[in-house]
């Protein structure tokens, strides 16, 4: 036994006596590394990080390099007496698994491991996103081809996927609340369990997930497969993301959506719209719920002082009223569209973009009456579908300012979750202030731009 090898063995013995925890860690390493390689975890194909043992001689280290045919190296950290942590660049085509196994028995080496490639954990694995069908969630950094999306993907990549502690109202048709891509993000009313009694005294018996103002019942999905519009809207705000299924909403989790169903088969009335708006205002004030916005992908009819007053009450309670600009292609500055045209400060009126960045041909606009553009055409989201006589979960692509609006509402929820205490005015200012200047929106909306939630 020559001196070099003996010294290496001594170094090894010292290491093993440092403590059980250190031994357990070192002992667990090679197998874990190799199983990671087997599992195909992303790593640089021709690189290894090698930590030489303290006391490893120059001869030993050079021998390792020569044996690996390493062509270059970086020193990541200088160690004691040659115990450097080194990045080895290897010839292409090497079998890293075999190398790691072999090097783990080399007395000069404390450990050898792959140069793993890390990605943000928050990269949606939802098929409609990964196959490029969810253009409204992308942005210039996540997909240059889909730069006109809401840039939710950028917010997710920065680690913000959950809208914890935030509630939003969906004033629309009902919500197919059992949809597996929605169920986790549907509110359950803790103050009024289903027992035939209006436990919380708000005038609605067992409003466990919201209320159907059209049918005057607690069943928020009474319309079967045809009751799909609100479900589609809900999926854009808060379809469960990262579950490997279907679509992802702007908020993957944390957000709780409450249904204010007032649109039925024949549409909805002003009277029921007022009840729905006031329902959320009351819920917020009655229970102290953090309801930050209602989504209003609907419109029509003439001016209503009563509805405007209800929106004013929502404003007083700090609830934003995000509203679709309408689908007739008209200029709302010259022909008022309600409810988006009401002058209330808490309204955010939304125009629709197509994926190529053009203002959708149907989208209403208004330099002073519509606030912002957002993805609206060919938006994939959750729907109920009819199959063999029953309603089953599905997905569908719809277009409209109805689809643009929930991108903004999702952005409101995302911002509110990372800025607790932000007022409705603060949130609206953030939505408007971060809009990306966009040619097709210039002079067409107040912000002259499109939704950008990347920094939320």
Q: Which residue ranges make up the site for Ca ion (CB under 5 A)? A: 126, 181, 192, 195, 197-200, 202, 204, 206-207, 240, 243, 245-246
Q: Least distance from C-beta 188 to Ca ion, angstroms?
A: 12
Q: Peptide bond preceding 339: is omega within 30 degrees of 0, i.e. cis?
A: yes
Q: How many CA atoms within 13 Å lie on the side-chain side of 427?
A: 31
DSSP state of 25: H
For tokens 């808060």, name the residue.
238
Question: Rounded to an integer, what distance in angstroms lies between the CA atom of residue 373 and that of residue 365?
Answer: 9
Decide the pairing of beta strands 291-296 and 320-324: parallel
| Closer of 111 and 135 to Ca ion (Cβ) | 135
Contact residues for 67 (Cβ-Cβ < 8 A; gap 6+): none
Q: Which of 124, 340, 402, 417 is catalytic?
A: 402
Cα distance between the two ends of the chain: 63
**Residue pair 276/262 in contact by the 8 Å Cβ criterion:** yes
Residue ranges in 240-296 assigned as alpha helix (H): 270-287
| Closer of 129 and 342 to Ca ion (Cβ) | 129
Decide the pairing of beta strands 43-52 and 291-296: unpaired
Rg (CA), the chain: 29
Q: Least distance from C-beta 274 to Ca ion, angstroms?
A: 18
Q: Least distance from C-beta 19 to Ca ion, angstroms?
A: 45
402 is catalytic: yes
**Residue pair 55/11 in contact by the 8 Å Cβ criterion:** yes
For tokens 């120059």, name the residue.
58
399 is catalytic: no
Kindly report the number of other CB atoms within 10 A of residue 119's CB atom: 8
Question: Rounded to an integer, what distance in angstroms lies between the CA atom of residue 177 and that of residue 184?
Answer: 9
Provide the β-strand partners of residue 396: 381
| Closer of 338 and 398 to Ca ion (Cβ) | 398
Question: Rounded to an integer, what distance in angstroms lies between the CA atom of residue 48 and that of residue 199?
Answer: 63
Q: Least distance from C-beta 36 to Ca ion, angstroms?
A: 26
| Closer of 18 and 197 to Ca ion (Cβ) | 197
Neighbour-count burial of 215, counting CB atoms closer than 10 A to its CB (0-12 exposed, 13-18 middle, 19+ buried): middle
Q: Least distance from C-beta 378 to Ca ion, angstroms?
A: 18
120 is catalytic: no
Q: Which of 43, 160, 179, 229 is catalytic?
A: 229
Q: Which of 84, 126, 172, 228 is catalytic?
A: 172
| Closer of 76 and 317 to Ca ion (Cβ) | 317
| Closer of 204 and 298 to Ca ion (Cβ) | 204
| Closer of 173 and 207 to Ca ion (Cβ) | 207
**Residue pair 219/101 in contact by the 8 Å Cβ criterion:** no
Q: Least distance from C-beta 53 to Ca ion, angstroms?
A: 47
| Closer of 97 and 219 to Ca ion (Cβ) | 219
Estimate to the nearest angstrom the gap between the alpha carbon of 76 and the chain centroid: 35
Q: Least distance from C-beta 195 to Ca ion, angstroms?
A: 5
Give 134-175 as a DSSP string: -GGG--TTT-GGGTTS--HHHHHHTT--B-TT-EEEEEES--
| Closer of 124 and 434 to Ca ion (Cβ) | 124
**Residue pair 368/355 in contact by the 8 Å Cβ criterion:** no
Q: Least distance from C-beta 194 to Ca ion, angstroms?
A: 6
- The angle at the Cα of 221, spanning 220 to 226, to the nearest 5 degrees, equals 140
Q: Least distance from C-beta 241 to Ca ion, angstroms?
A: 5
**Angle between helix 96-103 and helix 20-38 axes, rounded to 10 deg:** 160
Report the catalytic residues.
Answer: 172, 229, 402
């Amino acid at each position: 036994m020559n001196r070099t090898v003996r010294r290496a063995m001594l170094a090894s013995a010292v290491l093993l006596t440092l403590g059980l925890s250190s031994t357990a860690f070192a002992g667990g390493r090679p197998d874990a590394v190799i199983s990671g390689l087997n599992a195909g975890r992303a790593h640089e194909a021709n690189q290894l990080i090698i930590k030489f043992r303290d006391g490893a001689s120059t001869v030993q280290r050079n021998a390792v390099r020569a044996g690996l045919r390493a062509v270059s190296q970086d020193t990541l950290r200088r160690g004691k007496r040659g115990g450097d942590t080194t990045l080895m660049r290897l010839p292409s085509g090497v079998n890293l698994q075999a190398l790691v196994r072999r090097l783990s028995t080399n007395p000069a080496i404390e450990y050898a491991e792959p140069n793993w490639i890390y990605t943000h954990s928050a990269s949606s694995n939802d098929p409609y996103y990964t196959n490029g069908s969810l253009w409204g969630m992308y942005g210039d950094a996540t997909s240059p081809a889909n730069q006109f999306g809401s840039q939710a993907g950028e917010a997710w990549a920065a680690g913000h996927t959950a809208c914890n502690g935030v509630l939003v109202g969906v004033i629309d048709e009902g919500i197919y609340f059992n949809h597996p891509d929605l169920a986790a993000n549907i509110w359950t009313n803790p103050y009024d369990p289903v027992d035939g009694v209006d436990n919380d005294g708000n005038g609605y018996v067992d409003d466990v997930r919201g209320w159907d103002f059209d049918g005057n019942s607690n069943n928020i999905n009474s319309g079967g497969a045809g009751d799909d519009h609100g479900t589609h809207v809900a999926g854009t705000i808060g379809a469960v993301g990262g579950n490997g299924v279907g679509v992802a909403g702007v908020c993957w989790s944390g957000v709780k959506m409450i249904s204010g169903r007032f649109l039925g088969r024949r549409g909805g009335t002003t009277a029921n719209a007022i009840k729905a708006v006031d329902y959320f205002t009351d819920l917020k004030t009655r229970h102290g719920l953090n309801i930050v916005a209602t989504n209003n992908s609907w419109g029509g009819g003439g001016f209503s002082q009563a509805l405007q007053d209800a929106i004013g009450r929502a404003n007083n309670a700090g609830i934003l009223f995000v509203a679709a600009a309408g689908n007739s292609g008209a200029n709302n500055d010259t022909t008022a569209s309600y409810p988006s045209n009401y002058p209330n400060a808490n309204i955010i009126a939304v125009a629709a973009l197509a994926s190529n960045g053009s203002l959708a041909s149907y989208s209403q606009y208004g330099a002073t009456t519509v606030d912002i553009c957002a993805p609206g055409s060919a938006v994939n989201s959750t729907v109920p579908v009819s199959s063999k006589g029953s309603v089953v979960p599905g997905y569908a692509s719809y277009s409209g300012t109805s689809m643009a609006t929930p991108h903004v509402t999702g952005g409101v929820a995302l911002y509110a979750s990372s800025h607790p205490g932000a007022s409705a005015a603060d949130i609206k200012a953030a939505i408007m202030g971060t809009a990306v200047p966009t040619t097709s929106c210039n002079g067409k909306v107040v912000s002259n731009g499109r939704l950008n939630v990347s920094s939320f």
